[in-house]
Amino acid sequence: MYDTIIKLMNDSALKEKTGNWLLKSIEDNFKNTLIPLVPKWLETYHLTWMTIIWSVLVVAFFYLGLENNLYYWFVPLFVVLQYITDLLDGAVGRHRDTGLVKWGYYADHFLDFIFLCAVIFGYALVTGFGIWTFLLLAVVSAFMVHAFLLVSTNEEFQISLFGIGPTEGRVIFIISHLTLVYFGIDLLVNLLPYIVGSLSLFLLYAFLASQIKLWKLDMQIKHNNI
């Protein structure tokens, strides 16, 4: 069993992300345009580590925003910058054949989680570290757990749901954040229960659909082995 788990983890590092998110073709064209423009001195691991910089800046600007709301307007900038470096790190590594496949898989996704925590921590500075902020982190983290469990069980890195992938998620976040800043970011306190509830329904659907699919696959394997 242990050997099987290790093999699945090793194989998963080689899996391409799958799914049909709405902006996928635009994103691919954008990525292919940027790859040749990346300076030679800027390596794939540099791009990956930049997520730490964007995470620190997100928290810093949320903190500064407590005194001056102007700083809240800059948070989406770091989301965009993190998107660009996250989009390019693996692509540049493959283009230059750096060989950092397993390291990239691990570091990239671990730092994605750190960035996610930084954003939610920033909102916690605004709303207070209450139960709804904790539940928001738990639900959003569960989506990441869901995706990686599918990698190990079905060897499929599915990253979209209802045509919504990481790119669309960032666009929704930016629009929502700017709207909140315009009308008053303190409104988030009242909106958090609805946000958590909506995300929980999406998570429930993803869980039910995936466990039904995996159950059927198990039965197919069982009957084929008889």
Instruction: Name the residue among 108, 99, 98, 195 with its Cα closest to residue 157.
Output: 108
Give pTM, 2 decimals.
0.82
What is the per-residue pLDDT for 162?
64
- According to DSSP, residue 70 is labeled G
Q: Which residues are paired to 158 by β-bridges?
A: 18
CATH number of the domain encompassing residue 214: 1.20.120.1760
Instruction: Calculate the alpha carbon distances from 120 to 23, 62, 87, 135, 206 in Å.
Output: 25, 10, 21, 11, 22
Q: Which residues are paired to 85 by β-bridges?
A: none
- What is the H or E stretch that residue 188 is in? helix 188-225
- What is the H or E stretch that residue 157 is in? strand 157-158
Instruction: Calculate the alpha carbon distances from 54 to 51, 62, 85, 222 in Å.
Output: 5, 12, 10, 47
Band the pLDDT of 71: cuts 50, 70, 90. very high
What is the per-residue pLDDT for 10?
47
Of 3-12, 64-73, 83-92, 133-142, minimum mean pLDDT range: 3-12
Which domain covers residue 52, as residue numbers? 2-225
CA dist., res. 150 & res. 157, Å (int)? 7
- 39 vs 153: which has the higher pLDDT: 39
What is the per-residue pLDDT for 95?
87
Q: What is 138-197 written as a DSSP string?
A: HHHHHHHHHHHHHHHHHS-EE--BTTB-HHHHHHHHHHHHHHHHHH-GGGHHHHHHHHHH
At 197-218, the pLDDT tens digits run: 999 999 999 899 889 988 988 8
- 60 vs 160: which has the higher pLDDT: 60
The stretch 4-28 carries a mean pLDDT of 56
pLDDT of 156 above 80: no
What is the per-residue pLDDT for 26?
80
What is the per-residue pLDDT for 4?
40
Quick check: 151 and 60 in contact, CB under 8 A? no
- Structurally, how many domains does the chain consist of? 1
